[in-house]
Amino acid sequence: MQDVKRRLIRWAVVVALILLIPLVLTIRDGGVEGVGWNWTFFDFIFMGTLLFGAGLVYELIARKMSNSAYRAAVGVAVVTAVLMVWINAAVGIIGDGDFPNAMYFGVLAIGGIGALIARFRPYGMSHALFAMALAQAMVPGIALIIWPPSVISWEPGVMKVFALNAVFVLLWVGSALLFRHVSATGSK
Q: pLDDT confidence of 113, banded at 50, 70, 90?
A: very high
Predicted pLDDT at 116: 95
171 vs 129: CA distance, rounded Å: 9
Q: pLDDT confidence of 2, banded at 50, 70, 90?
A: confident
Contact between 129 and 111 under an 8 Å Cβ cutoff? The reply is yes
Predicted pLDDT at 96: 66
For residue 5, the 8-state DSSP code is: H
Q: What is the arithmetic mean of pLDDT over 4-28?
A: 89
For the cut 90, the answer to whether the pLDDT of residue 118 exceeds it is: yes
Q: What is the arithmetic mean of pLDDT over 45-74?
A: 90
CB count within 10 Å of CB 175 equals 28
Predicted pLDDT at 153: 59
74 vs 129: CA distance, rounded Å: 10
For the cut 80, the answer to whether the pLDDT of residue 122 exceeds it is: yes
Q: pLDDT tens-digit profile of 153-178?
A: 566 678 888 999 999 999 999 999 99
For the cut 80, the answer to whether the pLDDT of residue 45 exceeds it is: yes
CB count within 10 Å of CB 8 equals 14
Collect all residues with Cβ–Cβ distance below 8 Å to 165 and sequence separation of at least 6.
93, 136, 137, 139, 140
Mean pLDDT for the chain? 88
Contact between 101 and 65 under an 8 Å Cβ cutoff? The reply is no
Predicted pLDDT at 3: 79
127 vs 94: CA distance, rounded Å: 26
Q: pLDDT tens-digit profile of 67-110?
A: 899 999 999 999 999 999 999 888 788 876 668 888 999 999 99
- Chain center to CA of 146: 24
